[in-house]
Amino acid sequence: IISKRIYQSGELIFEEQPLVLAQFEWNKLYKYSACEYCLYPLESCEQNVRRLCQDTSIVIQHPECDPNQTISQRIVRCRQCNEMYCSTKCHQQAMTNYHSILCQSTENEKKDQLIRHIIDLWRSAHPPPETTSITLVLKLMAMLKNSNNRLLLLQELQKFSQGVQSENQKFYHKLLRKEFQSQVEQLRYALEQFNEQYMQISEFKWFLTSDGFRQLLALLGRNQQGIGTSSLAIWVKNCENLSKTQETTAAAAGAAGSDISQFIDAIYTKIDDVSGEFIDCEGSGLFKLQSCLNHSCDANAEIQYLHNNSTLSVVTTRLISPNEEITINYLSECDRNRSRHSRQKLLQENYLFLCQCNRCVSEASEPDETSEEEESENEMDED
């Protein structure tokens, strides 16, 4: 995607909704509570913090900074399966698109058992940290089943890149390595049975062949965009804004600001000790425009979730000139400062290409060793 005008740093370029999204299976299993349709968090900040810290005695400061104080009163539940949504609108949209088919009620126990079996197979093959979800496939199948224009939906799906190998055929997507062949085949067979017994979608049959399923998994792996939402993060942001406001209006506010900062730091420290890095409600989705953005290790834009749901926002990280390509960094924040060799390895495994951005070219003379090897050598030097 090429910029047609000047964008200032921090400016919103565009926003979009996903074609389909799903919460990660392990994330959901561990009771990270989120709207099934848009991934909006369904806990108050205090509930969120207590769960992550495993401490029910915690009382957050400035509860007025938590927009989810009364979220429990706003939750809408599916009457059949008790699935939760943040609004009637999300519930209705889910029912229209896929949930009327995937709803795990007691009406068809065999169907529900097969769905649970498919999800269990995925969990066993894809432990945390998760990168995509088999529920995306189930939802796509249900969307096709409910669609009045299946051909159009399939065409949209096929626009996403879906090669299983790199162009030079030197490496496969990590989901399709030899060590996963047995699990991939079990998944494929279970989904094939699901289609034959309950869906009967002739247009999807090719995706459930051996080659087609590999293409489908590669499509998800290469194109999925991670989504993260958090009641805690919004409360922290609002507290920081409140502190800044107080500091400009009262001399005593400096101490108050310091107190809340210390409280926030203490919470994050305890969460890190108890729950580790898994703080957010996490999932992934397929976004048509976002998938057109190329990667750069020195990107000029980034993905944000400004609305604390699945609405994706692309925001500039520096000034962008007219006719300049808009790029994002496909790597997670913790991986972006790793060595060139480590970054290239991750990009090969997940996206099947070798990065040739300006940063990678400028670092081409660096040793071909992973960041772990570098850290190990540094530790040995210290010893």
pLDDT of residue 175: 61
Count other Cβ atoms within 10 Å, centred on residue 134: 23
Closest CA to 49 of 230, 240, 229: 230
Domain closes at, from 175, 204, 225: 225
Which candidate, 186, 196, 260, places its Cα nearest to that of 217?
186
**Cα(342)–Cα(368) distance, integer angstroms:** 8
What is the Cα–Cα distance from 109 to 381, expressed in whole angstroms?
A: 60
How many structural domains is the chain composed of? 2
Closest CA to 304 of 12, 54, 73: 12
Listed residues 170, 203, 225: the one ending a domain: 225
**Ordered DSSP codes for 174-190:** GGGSGGGHHHHHHHHHH
If asked whether residues 212 and 350 sit together in one domain, one would say no
d(CA 322, CA 325): 9
199 in a structural domain: yes
Examine residue 287 and state whether it is found in any structural domain, yes or no: no
Q: From first to last of the 383 residues of the chain, give the pLDDT tens digit.
A: 999 999 999 999 999 999 999 999 999 999 999 999 999 999 999 999 999 999 999 999 999 999 999 999 999 999 999 999 999 999 999 999 999 999 998 678 999 999 999 999 999 888 888 888 999 999 999 999 999 999 999 999 988 865 554 454 444 455 656 667 888 899 999 999 999 999 999 999 999 999 999 889 888 888 999 999 999 999 999 998 888 877 666 554 444 445 788 899 999 999 999 999 889 999 999 999 999 999 999 999 999 999 999 999 999 999 999 999 999 999 988 899 999 999 999 998 888 888 999 999 999 888 877 666 545 444 544 55
Buried b (16+ CB within 10 A) or exposed e, 2-18: ebeeebeeeeebeeeeb
> Is the separation of the CB atoms in 142 and 97 below 8 Å?
yes
In a domain, 6, yes or no: no
The DSSP result for 86-110, as a single string, is SSHHHHHHHIIIIIHHH---SS-HH
Question: Rounded distance, CA 206 to CA 338, Å?
Answer: 39
Residue 24, token pair as written in the block: 């990660």
pLDDT of res. 371:
61
Q: Would you say 293 and 301 are in contact if contact means Cβ atoms under 8 Å apart? A: yes
**What's CA 357's distance to the chain center, in Å?**
24
User: How far apart, in whole angstroms, are the C-alpha atoms of residue 250 and residue 198?
Assistant: 65
Residue 103 lies in a domain: yes
| Contact (CB, 8 A) for 232 and 265 | no
Rounded Cα–Cα distance for residues 381 and 80 (Å): 61
Report how far residue 239's alpha carbon sits from residue 47's, in angstroms, rounded to the nearest whole number. 17
Whether the CB-CB separation of 93 and 162 falls below 8 Å is answered with no
> What pTM was estimated for this model as a whole?
0.88
Which burial class, exposed, middle or buried, applies to 329 when counting CB atoms under 10 A from its CB (0-12, 13-18, 19+)?
Answer: buried
Among the candidates 204, 225, 246, a domain finishes at: 225
Answer yes or no: is 212 within a domain: yes
Alpha-carbon span 198 to 201, nearest angstrom: 9
Which H or E element spans position 284?
strand 281-286
What tokens does 297 get? 């290790």
Q: Does some domain include residue 184?
A: yes
Measured CA to CA, the distance from residue 383 to residue 380 in angstroms comes to 5
For residue 237, being part of any structural domain is answered with no
Domain region containing 335? 331-383
